[in-house]
Amino acid sequence: MNLDCLVKGFYPKEVNVTWYRNGEIVNNGVITSEPRKEGNGTYDVNSTLVIISSKIKKDELAECRVEHVSMGTPIKEHFVLTQIGLKRNSVTLVSISTVTVFLVMALCRGLYWALCNRLKSKSNVVDEESVKPAVEPEAELQKCPRMGEIMVPRMVNGTKAFLQCTISGYCPENLNVTWLWMKPGTQQLLSVSPSDNKTATVEIKREKDKTYTCTACLSINVSVSGENSAQYVCQVEHPSLERPLQKRTGKLQVIGIPVIKVRRETRKKKTYLTAVIEGIFPLNFTIKWSRMKNNKLVDYPETDKQKKSSINIDGTYNVISSIKVEQSRDRKSKSFKVTINHESLESPIQQTILREEGVYYLLTENGRNRLP
């Protein structure tokens, strides 16, 4: 007679099924098939223990033990073997008992149920073996997952950002989360990978109502060229769903926070104050130059400003803005101010330059620095 241990719905493919009798590993009389892939991507495997009825001892204990990477500890299912109505002069013995063990796929750590059927022999001689589980596990009900919106932080060029999606209220635990993305200017969805400087992680928690909550996170190294206008999709697969669930981010908006450097230049015997704005994105911004005149701050007209821009390899821009400074015959102190306003800034950037006895200084919180 045979004991069949059928393990279903697991992923990945590698699984270890071991038979024990009275606590000792059984090597002879065990037939284990190769894992078979099902239509939903999970695997099934069957392991058979061949038992000689005449060698069964009273209340002998058999055990099917299943080990898989998704479980912290193996699943163990015990069966008590008992001879019933054995007759000495029997000629033919036909008795089959089948045990089916379901192992949920992916990250699940549970045993759905064990089914034990006893079939009677067609011969006139009654010789049966009853096989029953020592413990009958409680079956889990399937509950569909609920997806929240993808949380998108402020996307700043040159930083690391984390997209996060919460999936809750589902059962069993075997949930498959996939992140996809659409590159800027394309319509094709691609799977994310570490080679794209993107790393996906999941954190699973069991709730008091025996459902599960999964927090799926995707880390991204943000750049204007790689992420601005890109779209991301979080996709969820679960046994309770006929088709995957999806949530999308919409087109991402990346910003580049500018860095300002001020310098003094001399060109053709004329003096200029120049502001170099590095790493700005998008390019729409305002820059205002002003000077003290008659104890009042007066703005330079647009016609007195010079401005040119260039693009960087990461998609941000560098901008150079200059004004010509009139040389004064007197050596009185005079101050100038440059102000930059951009959507990436919480407040405008302001730099003040002081000219004193023909020497230019940049004023800071800690004092003043002489401009070259």
- pLDDT tens digit string along 73-105? 888 887 777 654 443 333 233 333 334 444 433
Q: pLDDT tier at 256 (50, 70, 90 boundaries)?
A: very high
Q: What is the CATH number of domain 259-370?
A: 2.60.40.10
The DSSP secondary structure of 58-99, one letter per residue, reads TTEEEEEEEEETT-SS-EEEEEEEEEES--TT-------EEE
Query: Which of 13-17, 38-42, 100-104, 163-167 is most confident?
Result: 163-167
pLDDT given for residue 111 in this prediction: 31
Q: Is the pLDDT of residue 128 over 70?
A: no
User: Widest CA span of the chain, in angstroms?
Assistant: 132
* Lowest mean per-residue pLDDT among 32-46, 134-148, 206-220, 261-275: 134-148
Residue 237: which of 174, 190, 169, 149 has the closest Cα? 174
Amino acid 202: pLDDT: 94
Bigger pLDDT: 277 or 38?
277
CA-nearest of 306, 363, 305 to 333 is: 363
Which superfamily is assigned to 2-133 in CATH?
A: Immunoglobulins (2.60.40.10)
pLDDT at 320: 95
Instruction: Return the half-sphere exposure (C-beta side, CA atoms, 13 A cut-off) of residue 301.
Output: 2
pLDDT grade for 328, boundaries at 50, 70 and 90? low
What does the block give as tokens for 328?
A: 């004064």
Cβ neighbourhood burial of 30 (10 Å; 0-12, 13-18, 19+): middle
How far is it, in rounded angstroms, from Cα 269 to Cα 286? 29
* Average pLDDT value over all residues in the chain: 82
Q: Are 216 and 304 in contact (CB under 8 A)?
A: no
Query: Where is pLDDT greater, at 187 or 316?
Result: 316
Q: What is the pLDDT of residue 106?
A: 34
Tokens of 188: 């094709």
* Domain spans in the chain, listed from the N-terminal domain onward: 2-133, 146-253, 259-370
pLDDT value of position 122 = 36
Q: Which of 61-65, 98-102, 170-174 has the lowest mean pLDDT?
A: 98-102
Which amino acid, residue 199?
A: T
pLDDT at res. 175: 94
**For residue 218, what pLDDT is reported?**
96
User: Could you give the percent of the chain with pLDDT greater than 90?
Assistant: 49
Tokens of 207: 């709730």
Paired strand residues for 118:
97
* Of 248, 171, 249, 243, residue with least CA distance to 214: 171
Cβ neighbours of 6 (radius 10 Å): 20
Q: Which residues pair with 264 in a beta bridge?
A: 273
Give strand pairing partners of 277. Answer: 260, 319
Query: What is the distance between the alpha carbons of residues 298 and 296, in angstroms, rounded to a whole number?
Result: 6
Question: For residues 199 and 114, which has the higher predicted lDDT (pLDDT)?
Answer: 199
CATH superfamily, domain 146-253, is Immunoglobulins (2.60.40.10)
User: Dihedral through CA 120, CA 126, CA 129, CA 130, nearest 10?
Assistant: 60
Of 248, 234, 114, 231, the residue nearest 178 (C-alpha): 234
Identify whether the C-beta of residue 333 lies closer than 8 Å to the C-beta of residue 355: yes
Query: Could you tell me the sign of the dihedral formed by the alpha carbons of 20, 25, 29, 34, in that order?
Result: positive
